[in-house]
Amino acid sequence: MVLCGGKFAFPTLQLLAYEKFICAIGIGKADETIVDALERESEDNHFGFKSFPSSKSIAEMRVWVESIQPDYIFCISFPFLLPESVLTYGENRFINFHPGSLPQYRGSMPIFEVLKNKETETAICAHFMSSKFDKGNIIFNDPVVIDEGDTYGKLTVKLSQRMAQVALNMANMLQFANSIPNHPQDETLACYYEKPELSDTYINWKRMSAEEIIALINACNPWNTGADATLLGEQLKIISAQVLNEMHHCQPGTLVSITETLNIACGDNKQIAVKILSCDEGIMTADQFMEVKKMELKINY
């Protein structure tokens, strides 16, 4: 059985179904189009199916699981905590696949955090589930390289595709293993990240280096439509930019020059070259943004 939260699990569902491992699919709190698509696929393939649209609906899970009688339950981005009343269906039967290293990156959005923290590697962590988020015994951390220029979207797709193979390997292992090697998490290394708020996605021009700003921009693209910022007195989002290793004598956060990009002063005496941003008028290139600003100045004049 697979419990999931949406599109991130689709490659895994497709591969496990192809290899005849799936008996049922449960989905929690997802877009109606995704729920409908999974329900149709489940019916066509004679899988059990159930939607869990809210945390209250988890009270129905134990009866449903017992009606299916799965050997193991895989969880991939399932949005709700499973209570002991569900987990006691079977010891070490529930395995979560977390898209980040544990215990260093607990929380709902480890992809954002590893990019913001400029990590060069993340992982898919397979661990037994407990009644607390991301705290069960670790089976393994499968490393995944973060390439230069990876955005939240690119890394999500990479992890989603890798997840399918990791889950298949686990399913094959479970067929032949009498017991699964595992170990408790090292709490001295543990860090739990709450879901990002505006303070986490906002560029502080004075305090952040150019590299830190680029890391934040990539970590916010596309889920937050870029990093939040104040530029030229306007609240906007920067979607794509790169470091410009040119010195400046301007206050951080001010426009140094305009080429094909908007070149903004940073606190470490470097600049970032802004390529694409989002403002009240829409998503546009740096050139388009400056044309809009010129038009506004003419109208005001």
Mean pLDDT for the chain overall? 94
Residues 141 and 246 reside in one and the same domain = no
Domain co-membership, 76 together with 189: yes
User: Which pLDDT value is given to residue 178?
Assistant: 79
Q: Tell me: do 140 and 277 sit in the same domain.
A: no
pLDDT score of 181:
94
177 and 243, same domain (yes or no)? no
Same domain, 147 and 238: no
> Where residue 276 sits, what CATH number does that domain have?
3.10.25.10
Q: What is the mean pLDDT of residues 272-283?
A: 96
Q: Which of 174-178, 228-232, 259-263 has the lowest mean pLDDT?
A: 174-178
Domain boundary among 158, 175, 193: 193
Residue 58's pLDDT band (boundaries 50, 70, 90)?
Answer: very high
**Structural domain tally of the chain?**
2
Mean pLDDT (whole number) for 232-242: 95
144 and 34 in a common domain: yes
Same domain, 247 and 173: no
As to burial, measured by CB atoms within 10 angstroms (0-12 exposed, 13-18 middle, 19+ buried), residue 63 is exposed
Instruction: Give strand pairing partners of 229.
Output: 236
Domain that holds residue 133: 2-193
pLDDT tens by residue, 19-32:
999 999 999 998 89
Residues 15, 83 within the same domain:
yes
Domain boundary among 193, 211, 246: 193
Separation of alpha carbons 249 and 102, rounded Å = 43
- 209 and 143, same structural domain? no
Mean pLDDT of 218-241: 96
Same domain as 182, residue 65 = yes
List of residues 6+ apart from 68 with CB closer than 8 A: 1, 23, 24, 48
pLDDT band at residue 292 under the 50/70/90 scheme: confident
Q: Span 229-235, mean pLDDT?
A: 92
Read off the pLDDT of residues 167-216 as tens digits, 9 standing for 90 and up. Answer: 999 999 998 887 899 999 999 999 999 999 999 999 999 999 999 999 99
Q: Both 181 and 218 in a single domain? A: no
User: Of the residues 166, 193, 220, which one is the last residue of a structural domain?
Assistant: 193
81-108 average pLDDT score: 96
Asked if residue 155 and residue 80 are part of one domain, the reply reads yes
Indicate whether 299 pLDDT > 70.
no
Residue 41 CA to residue 49 CA, distance in Å, equals 9
Assign residue 92 the CATH number of its domain.
3.40.50.170
Residue 114 pLDDT exceeds 50: yes
Q: List, as one string, the DSSP characters of the chain.
A: -EEE-SGGGHHHHHHHHHTT--SEEEEES--HHHHHHHHHHHHHTT-EEEEE-SGGGGGGHHHHHHHH--S-EEEES--SPPPHHHHTTSTT-EEEEESS-TTTTEES-HHHHHHHTT-SEEEEEEEE--SSTT-SPEEEEEEEE--TT--HHHHHHHHHHHHHHHHHHHHHHHHH-SS---B---GGG--EEPPP-HHHHB--TTTS-HHHHHHHHHHHTTTTSSEEEEETTEEEEEEEEEEE-----S-TTSEEEESSSEEEE-TTS-EEEEEEEEETTEEEEHHHHHHHHHHHHHHH-
